[in-house]
Amino acid sequence: MTGRAGIIGFPVAHSLSPVFQGAAFAAAGLDITYELWETPPGSLPARVASLRAPGTIGANVTIPHKEAAAALVDSLDDAARTAGAVNTIVTHHGRLSGHNTDGPGFVRALRDEASVEVGGSRFLLVGAGGAARGIAFALAAAGAARITIANRTAPRAERLAAEVRATGYGQVGTADLAAGLSGFSVIVNATSIGMAGGPDPDGLPVTLETATEGALVVDIVYRPEETPLLREARARGLPVLGGLPMLIYQGALAFELWTGQPAPVGVMFESARASLEDGRTLPR
Ligand code: NAP
């Protein structure tokens, strides 16, 4: 298989995706190049249209284009339609299908890297931004026992809960973090707190004193790989999962959509970790 793919975003220069997708194509023996497609908002329609050209297998889409891209493709999968956002486009004979692998990548990371099945788990999801949205819809689709959303701007959490409920999933609500963390089997930080270069790199999105013994603490922030929240969780003896697995599995699902082959996940992790340690890339 030959061809080209790339990532559409603005700014996109420091994305990790070219590192691990390039490594994956090489490891799979595929002659596919993966390019950085820096795309200011006004150029998005032309950029997406260019994916119809022969030889292009598709693209990833990142900030700030995920919602706008959903209106520019020919069809949407269920995850993209529900989330109203596309992070992967597949080109097939000049037609473009839009997919969302962010939430499904999170679910696969939980299963493959933390041995957690979504069905039967009770989730506290902290945050209601773009990443939290993808996760909330994916957890609902995967049959979570309960999803509770808490966000600094409470009406945003309430809106997201209502949207998830509108998909036919009833076990979703909102909470104030002051009410404590007992009863949750998985606690997820989907805010930017703890992210290097973000609004509060040294902060904690939740305090863990009231967490149930054995609760899994997940931080979707992946730079640094060990965030203050994960350090705090480890110190309390709680199991943890960092953000890199979600990033890798959303990419692995995209790779599988483009190529029809299983993604070489180990190679993707290795190359991403080497690049993060190198400090050459910034958050996607
Ligand atoms: P976003 O749409 O801008 O949402 C940011 C969220 O963080 C909102 O819920 C916001 O609350 C909250 N927040 C920001 N600063 C805060 C503060 N000081 N105190 C309390 N809450 C605060 O961003 P996003 O795209 O969802 O990304 C969020 C994080 O996830 C980023 O660090 C990003 O790198 C990471 N991420 C990781 C992956 C992965 O694959 N691992 C994928 C996507 C994103 P308000 O609503 O109150 O503003």
Please determine, for residue 280, whether its predicted confidence score (pLDDT) is greater than 70: no
> What average pLDDT score do residues 85-108 get?
97
Please determine, for residue 123, whether its predicted confidence score (pLDDT) is greater than 70: yes
Q: Is 277 exposed, middle or buried (0-12, 13-18, 19+ CB in 10 A)?
A: exposed
Counting from 1 in the atom list of ligand 1, the atom nearest the Cα of 194 is 32
* Interstrand relation of 31-38 and 2-9 (parallel, antiparallel or unpaired): parallel
Supply the pTM of this predicted model: 0.94
The model's confidence at residue 168, banded by pLDDT at 50, 70 and 90, is: very high
Q: What percent of the chain has pLDDT over 70?
A: 98
> What average pLDDT score do residues 60-83 get?
95
Q: What is the predicted pLDDT for the residue at 46?
A: 98
User: CA-to-CA distance for 44 and 223, rounded, in angstroms?
Assistant: 28
Q: What is the predicted pLDDT for the residue at 277?
A: 86
Average pLDDT score over the chain = 95
Q: Is 266 exposed, middle or buried (0-12, 13-18, 19+ CB in 10 A)?
A: exposed
Minimal-distance CA residue to ligand 1 atom 21: 152
Strand order in the sheet with 172-174: 172-174, 146-150, 122-126, 186-189, 216-219, 240-241
> What average pLDDT score do residues 185-202 get?
95
Q: What is the predicted pLDDT for the residue at 130?
A: 87
Please determine, for residue 213, whether its predicted confidence score (pLDDT) is greater than 50: yes
The model's confidence at residue 283, banded by pLDDT at 50, 70 and 90, is: very low
Minimal-distance CA residue to ligand 1 atom 48: 153
Q: Which residues are catalytic?
A: 66
- Ligand 1 centre to CA of 270 (Å) is 25
Cα four-point dihedral sign 44, 68, 75, 144:
positive
* Residues flanking ligand 1, CB < 6 Å: 102, 127-132, 151-153, 156, 190-193, 195, 198-200, 220-222, 243, 246-247, 250, 283
Please determine, for residue 279, whether its predicted confidence score (pLDDT) is greater than 80: no
Coil, helix or strand for 184? coil
> What average pLDDT score do residues 45-67 get?
96
Specify the residue for token string 């050459």: 280
